[in-house]
Amino acid sequence: MNNLDNPTIFLREDYLAPNFAIDQVYLEFSLNPNKTIVKSTLHMRRLGPGSLVLKGEELELISIAVNQEDYRDFEVNSKELTVHHLPEVFDLEINCSNQPNINSSLMGLYVSNDNFFTQCEAEGFRKITYFLDQPDVLTKFTVKLNASKVDYPVLLSNGNLIEEGELNNGWHFAVWEDPFPKPSYLFALVAGKLEVLERQYITNSGSKKLLQIWVEKKDLSRTKHAMESLIHSIEWDEKRFGLELDLERFMIVAVGDFNMGAMENKGLNIFNTKYVLADQHTATDIDFANIESVVGHEYFHNWTGNRVTCRDWFQLSLKEGLTVFRDQEFSADLMGSDSGRTVKRIEDVRLLRQVQFPEDAGPMAHPIRPDSYQEINNFYTVTVYEKGAEVVRMLHTLLGETGFMKGMKLYFARHDGQAVTCDDFLACMADANQFDAKQFQYWYSQAGTPQVSIKEQYNEVAKTYTLQISQTCPPTPNQSVKAPFHIPLKTKLLVPGQASDEFLIELKETEQQVVLKNIQTKPILSINRDFSAPVILNFDQPENELLFLFDQDDNAFNRWEAIQKIASNNILNNIAPSDPLIEGYRKLMLDPTLDPAFKELCFTLPAETYLHEQLETVDPQIVHHAKVHYQNVLGVRLINEWENLYEANLIASPYSPNAVDAGKRALKNFALKMLLDSNLAKFEAIAFEQLKNCDNMTDFLAALTLLVHYESSFAAEALNLFYQRHQGNDLALDKWFAIQASKPPKQSGKIVQDIRKLKLHSDFKMRNPNRVRSVIHTFCMNNPAGFHDASGEGYEFWYDNVLELDGINPQVAARLARALDRWKKFDAPYQAIMHSQLEKLLTNPLSNDVKEVIQKALN
């Protein structure tokens, strides 16, 4: 590894179709943690001239045969196996081995808690055996697993179990056959000591399916919610998209060491335990909701991702943007009410603005369909996923539900069983609806968040209302000039006491005028309702109009938007909340018709990362203290109401994670936070009582977080109580660590030393991504005031940990590396230290993953 080497850059325009097809593969594994032997027999067909270049990394090649004859006409290096002079049709047999025990990257075949797991997306299969490891090579897989029966009683792979039996020396085997051709990234195997929760499911068309969730024995009692989520997912996809489960058996397996959330391997989804295991004592309401949405996401991939897959990795958003859109709709539908739908929309938009907008404005900005990459693992981004989903959502808005579904129907009719591009998807949407997508395609090719500016003019004499709307998009890496986007803006003109209809403005020009006639009085503009387009809106709407929207808009999303806008303006300009604003909040608190979850979102102030985006350069300490101060004023001025709200939202019935109860708990715990914020000495005992007496993790964790973050005298005892109760439960301990890592500095000043101490705790494990994220990523990415300490010690901690992690798990290290990628956004003193840490990092040998992030940041 030498950082002066020119890195290989992969370009979308360089796509080449493969010169060989693999019609069938037979894989046989002899599973041994120290050395696993993989024998692979490929039935191959020539499609074009040239040698066969198979990818393979960290493998030891044992032998090659062509048509059962030993073959020597090949070359092998650390990345590729090149086989020369092959015939038109042939069987290629490759024997190789790998070492699961020392695989800490968690890509390919690895061991976690003595069981075997695989992760192949995007390029992990090449760590298992030599293969055409690219998504446009679809192959039918038959897999035989051989392993010790006592150590690995359960043997799973994709598809259907067709044979199992005993072998010599206490070994046994299982043969799995997947009837659907698939790319190698969807391959999976699992072997180990696991137990199962099973259900039967009968589809709409009457076929019987077996649903299984495999976990370690100690976790079996915590799988019910995941199973219910799976059943809801299957039902929803049948009902809303008309898509049925195509396999006889659908399995989910949970693993404690996993780089991401979960993986949609055909018929054998592998999940991070975080998104499977839940009960009321160990998981929060948010965990329950996340499990439902991730189970849905992976299940929905079966059609959008697996049946129709990506031609190449530049097309990642083809499956991810569409599948996130589907899981968002699933969760929204399951909320069961219009206001629940709005709550879900607000949560999704908050994530987009807090994480994707900064990405789109930084050195890693890329279109949802990138044009180039150094390391594909770095492109599993909020842009590809969440902005990708927004782009699909805009199509849905422009075409309507019926038109959108026509497009989906055509997509499966044309492309089932194929590996295709984003253009193919857009063409289906266009062709099914006679929609001209020429301009819309810029959403796929251009990076950056468009800025839409609005000027309004009301002519009292002519009774016309004129909107002057313009759009720009800032330059992003390799894209200095942008073509105008096709932007759908849901709009309504509100006039007190009058009814009016919502309409859609399709902004296509750089400058566009919309003239509305017969408008009797100056209306109040409600635009980009439901956040119909992922843009930054520049519109100076006076506070009294925003307060009117907050109070009266029939689009609940825009009610929330109005109050957020007021709060942002005030915090950024250090303005105390006005009396009318306080009255607005009070009215919201007392309104019995409003959903508690919605109220809680209205009170929650904009995230610091989102506030940063609105400044030219940032002093993170100033922003932090401005927000803290503003929140405190809201606490103090409404103290009686917070007390009442806390009491009014106590729940007497037994715990259920349903959306209504979860909303009540969220509001109650927000009220508790405001109480502690305004008078710790008076209210900390209430929090401690809640913690001791509650029957669920949501209330426990909320109280504990407050006691720790506000430095209550009960904090140490409360932390200890949690630890004693949950010792040995990794997911719960992750929360225990994260609370401490996210503690903002208060009287205690710097907290970097505390975080360094956390790393010395006997339960800290640098090889477990969840634990690492709960301490290191949480501190560096979720604790702005603690991390951006003026001393620069936070940045030093970052440096040490990126380097240490990179030697273990480059993917996890590269995520952390991104904590400094917006260094140019900060005020000079911060900038200088960040810059020197970035430069220092680059003097070390680094993985491709981390190198790409650092080099782009410094560019």
- Tokens representing 537 are 């809106």
- Contacts with 11 (C-beta within 8 Å, 6 or more apart), sequence order: 371, 372
> Is the CB of residue 376 less than 8 Å from the CB of residue 123?
yes
> By CB under 6 A, is residue 264 in contact with ligand 0A1?
yes
Distances (CA, A) of 816 to 60, 246, 301, 779, 851: 31, 38, 27, 10, 12
Number of residues that bind ligand 0A1 (CB under 6 A): 13
- Nearest residue (CB) to ligand 0A1, 255 versus 262: 262
> By CB under 6 A, is residue 373 in contact with ligand 0A1?
no
Residues numbered 613 to 632 that lie near ligand 0A1 (CB under 6 A) are: none
> 317 phi and psi, to 5 degrees?
-65, -20
> By CB under 6 A, is residue 814 in contact with ligand 0A1?
no
**Dihedral sign from CA coordinates of 729, 377, 351, 542:** positive
Least distance from C-beta 305 to ligand 0A1, angstroms? 7
Does an H or E element contain 79, and which?
Answer: none
Contact of residue 380 among ligand 0A1, Zn ion, none (CB under 5-8 Å per partner type): ligand 0A1
Place of tokens 């369909």: 369
Which of 93, 264, 292, 298 is the catalytic position? 298
Least distance from C-beta 540 to Zn ion, angstroms? 39
Is beta strand 20-30 parallel, antiparallel or unpaired with respect to 69-70? unpaired
> By CB under 6 A, is residue 276 in contact with ligand 0A1?
no
- Nearest residue (CB) to ligand 0A1, 326 versus 856: 326
- Tokens representing 346 are 């607000």
Place of tokens 């305004």: 678
- Nearest residue (CB) to ligand 0A1, 54 versus 814: 814
> Is the CB of residue 44 less than 8 Å from the CB of residue 89?
yes
Query: Buried (b) or exposed (e) across 721-741, using 16+ Cβ within 10 A?
Result: bbeeebeebbbbbbbbbbbbb
Which one of the spans 48-56, 163-171, 321-329, 393-401 is the region binding Zn ion (CB under 5 A)?
321-329
| Residue 88: how many other CB atoms lie within 10 Å | 8
- Tokens representing 316 are 């990642």
- Return the closest-CA partner of residue 786 out of 762, 829, 750: 750
**Dihedral sign from CA coordinates of 78, 83, 88, 91:** negative
Task: Measure the CA–CA gap between 221 and 282, rounded to whole angstroms.
Answer: 12
> By CB under 6 A, is residue 123 in contact with ligand 0A1?
no
Residues numbered 282 to 301 that lie near ligand 0A1 (CB under 6 A) are: 297-298
SS3 349: helix
SS (H, E, C) 823-854: HHHECHHHHHHHHHHHHHHCCCCCCHHHHHHH
Which one of the spans 195-203, 318-326, 445-453, 516-524 is the region binding Zn ion (CB under 5 A)?
318-326
- Nearest residue (CB) to ligand 0A1, 666 versus 850: 850
Least distance from C-beta 306 to ligand 0A1, angstroms? 10
Under DSSP, the state recorded for 221 is G
- Nearest residue (CB) to Zn ion, 320 versus 360: 320
Least distance from C-beta 805 to ligand 0A1, angstroms? 15
Which one of the spans 273-281, 317-325, 336-344, 730-738 is the region binding Zn ion (CB under 5 A)?
317-325
- Nearest residue (CB) to ligand 0A1, 262 versus 667: 262
- Tokens representing 549 are 């929207």
Among 190, 263, 674, 706, binds ligand 0A1 (CB under 6 A): 263
> 207 phi and psi, to 5 degrees?
-90, 145
* Vertex 128 angle, CA 151 and 844, to 5°: 110
Q: What is the largest CA-CA distance in the chain?
A: 95
Contact of residue 732 among Zn ion, ligand 0A1, none (CB under 5-8 Å per partner type): none
Is beta strand 464-472 parallel, antiparallel or unpaired with respect to 249-255? unpaired
Least distance from C-beta 124 to ligand 0A1, angstroms? 7
- Nearest residue (CB) to ligand 0A1, 359 versus 561: 359
Least distance from C-beta 795 to ligand 0A1, angstroms? 27
> Is the CB of residue 280 less than 8 Å from the CB of residue 314?
no
Least distance from C-beta 117 to ligand 0A1, angstroms? 11
Which one of the spans 258-266, 526-534, 741-749, 814-822 is the region binding ligand 0A1 (CB under 6 A)?
258-266
Contact of residue 260 among ligand 0A1, Zn ion, none (CB under 5-8 Å per partner type): ligand 0A1
Contact of residue 119 among Zn ion, ligand 0A1, none (CB under 5-8 Å per partner type): ligand 0A1
> By CB under 6 A, is residue 260 in contact with ligand 0A1?
yes
Task: Measure the CA–CA gap between 253 and 742, rounded to whole angstroms.
Answer: 30
Least distance from C-beta 323 to Zn ion, angstroms? 5
Which one of the spans 155-163, 259-267, 521-529, 719-727 is the region binding ligand 0A1 (CB under 6 A)?
259-267
Which one of the spans 253-261, 389-397, 473-481, 816-824 is the region binding ligand 0A1 (CB under 6 A)?
253-261
> Is 298 annotated in the active site?
yes
Least distance from C-beta 132 to ligand 0A1, angstroms? 19
- Tokens representing 136 are 């446009």
- Nearest residue (CB) to Zn ion, 323 versus 526: 323
> By CB under 6 A, is residue 380 in contact with ligand 0A1?
yes
- Tokens representing 840 are 């220092």
- Nearest residue (CB) to Zn ion, 306 versus 476: 306
The identity of residue 103, as a single letter, is N
Contact of residue 261 among ligand 0A1, Zn ion, none (CB under 5-8 Å per partner type): ligand 0A1
> By CB under 6 A, is residue 261 in contact with ligand 0A1?
yes
x/- binding map, residues 302-341, to ligand 0A1, per CB under 6 A? ------------------x---------------------
**Dihedral sign from CA coordinates of 596, 597, 599, 604:** positive
Among 40, 118, 119, 302, binds ligand 0A1 (CB under 6 A): 119
> 497 phi and psi, to 5 degrees?
80, 0
Task: Measure the CA–CA gap between 602 and 485, rounded to whole angstroms.
Answer: 30
Which one of the spans 33-41, 260-268, 726-734, 782-790 is the region binding ligand 0A1 (CB under 6 A)?
260-268
Contact residues for Zn ion, defined by CB under 5 A: 320, 323
The catalytic residue positions are: 298
Contact residues for ligand 0A1, defined by CB under 6 A: 119, 121, 259-264, 297-298, 320, 380, 811
